[in-house]
Amino acid sequence: MSKRVIISGGGTGGHIYPAIAIANALKEIEPGIEILFVGALGKMEMEKVPRAGYNIIGLPIVGIKREISLDNLAFPVKLTRSLWKARSVIKDFKPDVAVGVGGFASGPLLMIASLLGIPTLIQEQNSYAGITNKLLAKRASKICVAYPGMEAFFPKEKIRVFGNPVRSDIVDVTSKRKEALAYFGFQEECKTLFVMGGSLGAKSINESLNAGIGDLVKAGYQVLWQTGKGFISTAQATVSGLKSDAAKAFEFIYEMDLAYAVADVVVSRAGALSVSELCLAVKPTILIPFPFASEDHQTKNAMNLVEQDAAIFIKDSSAAEELIPGAMTLLGDVKRQDELKKNIKKLAKPTAAYDIAAEVLKLIK
């Protein structure tokens, strides 16, 4: 009988893509394994996971809004329905182990799995643990983390420090540079800035770039811009007005290996997945953390690199004044780029997905 694994969580790319990377590694190690994803209805995993070739079932779970909201009145009902649905899914699928990557759906699923005696593994991407994973930690069999010092949140004896699992195609993007230049229609002799704000976009980064992209193009630089859903029409209008092939705007980029390959410098939020990918892609990076992330974990992620001179830090509130001048300075300073590349490369964990997958398989009785 084939081994069976449920992987649960999502909400953002920072949860979804590590989950898919773990699933892909499990398939490579154990080709006959059966994998089922469980996500939250209406969240992006319901589209991204099937695109990656896996089945997913949605729970009606929602988060609690931090501000006073009538939506919070529905939370207990949706939580109860999600717990019953999770129980039904587990009874039907009969997993040998359940994996939680954070996000709304992982709470009910892993809670029920642990109560039914199924081994559970948590994967925490950030340097500051999320509330769902902190609640699940006591009952978890193993906890895989990306950063040292996580015993502040989790039982020390359960922790394994493996780094964050990322897509294997991001390793050695340098060899894809010519392909990437052709794909995006850029020139080899010009330096390229890749600007991204995570899977949902980033207001301060988008607005700052929108105001200064013309200056970058006039200075002879190329710009690849991932905007997220809410800003794409504004960005495309701005880029169209430049009447130049040196700037390209996309709502979302699926070919992230090619985006990293074409980039000489990257501007990014400091979500755990982005940081891990940048370490593997070995890119000189300016990090602008989202200041309202839970427990300000993006700033903590960023400072983990900045303290090792592996990235440049700009506060979100300073992006309008500092993003364009900072990007121009770094694009023009090859020596500084090389220093940042040397230091960020030391932080890469290329085998994380396989290490976590092996830990998952160890839990199967």
CB atoms under 10 Å from CB of 355, counted, come to: 19
Cα 235 to Cα 316: distance, rounded to the nearest angstrom: 19
Write the single-letter amino acid at 296.
D
**SS3 sequence of 137-150:** HHHCCEEEECCCCH
Cα 204 to Cα 61: distance, rounded to the nearest angstrom: 29
DSSP summary character for residue 63: P
Helix locations, the chain, DSSP H: 13-29, 45-51, 75-93, 106-115, 131-136, 177-184, 203-218, 232-242, 256-262, 272-281, 297-306, 319-331, 334-345, 352-362
Cα 180 to Cα 144: distance, rounded to the nearest angstrom: 33
Binding residues for UDP-N-acetyl-alpha-D-glucosamine: 12-14, 126, 167, 199, 253, 272-277, 298
Cα 27 to Cα 34: distance, rounded to the nearest angstrom: 8
CB atoms under 10 Å from CB of 225, counted, come to: 26
DSSP summary character for residue 117: T
Binding residues: 12-14, 126, 167, 199, 253, 272-277, 298
